[in-house]
A and B are shown apart, each in its own frame.
Chain A
Amino acid sequence: MGKNLRMKSARAMKDMTQKDLADAVGVTRQTINAIEKGDYNPTIKLCISICKTLDVTLNDLFWEVDNNEKPT
């Protein structure tokens, strides 16, 4: 699992620190850091919570686009 740079960038766009986002979704800062570094695969519940806080969709942050996949 690679780094989640889209989440990092969405967080930066909202001008939030890892601690701000962690407090908003009810986890520790280290958990946000682990998700961004690709060290932890969050549950769908946490993904939704992060997306709602950052005003983005699940696809925007967590859908990994396969190069062979054709867009619908």
Chain B
Amino acid sequence: MKSQHDERQQWINYRISHHALVLLMFMILFNSIFKSTGAGPWAEPMSEAMILIGITSGFYVTRSLFKDAYISKKDSFRKNTISFGFISALFLGVFFLGMIEPLSREFITDGKLSNDLVMLIGGVFFFYLFLLHIIKRLVATDE
């Protein structure tokens, strides 16, 4: 599939994705070291994966967006912002609806973050992207 990004954006995204990959590798490495030193797992697998992927993706989108390389010439800034806001509301809505269910939910079980937090983590991640787009729009200063 042909990229919709222009040559400058492709070049910047290539460099940032390389940095994001290195960041992910280090996080997986330190996570493994942390777990193997006796501290044990700090989160259930799904929550752990969501957090590691969320941090890496957040790093990628933040850098790419502020270098004007995230939104391609075919994409709409407004559409992206609204989409992230909507997805964030969906995730957080499902999470908070889950909280009012009669079934008890535990967010920390045996000292680990539980899988019940997956929706909250997803919601926070997409809310971050939503806020990032708004901030980018506010600070856009180039001519």
Chain A residues with CB under 8 A of B6: 26-28, 31
- Tell me whether chain A's interface is mostly helix, strand or loop, or mixed: helix
Chain B contact-residue range equals 10 to 19
| B137 on interface, CB distance cutoff 8 Å | no
Contact digits for A2-24, partner B, Cβ 8 Å, 1 yes 0 no: 00000000000000001000100
- Interface residue total, chain A, C-beta cutoff 8 A: 14
Q: Give 20 pairs: A residue, B residue, CB < 8 Å, sorted on A.
A: A18-B143, A22-B73, A26-B6, A26-B73, A27-B7, A27-B73, A28-B6, A28-B72, A28-B73, A30-B68, A31-B6, A31-B7, A31-B8, A33-B142, A33-B143, A34-B8, A34-B68, A42-B7, A42-B8, A45-B7
**A-binding residues in B (CB < 8 A):** 6-9, 68, 71-73, 142-143
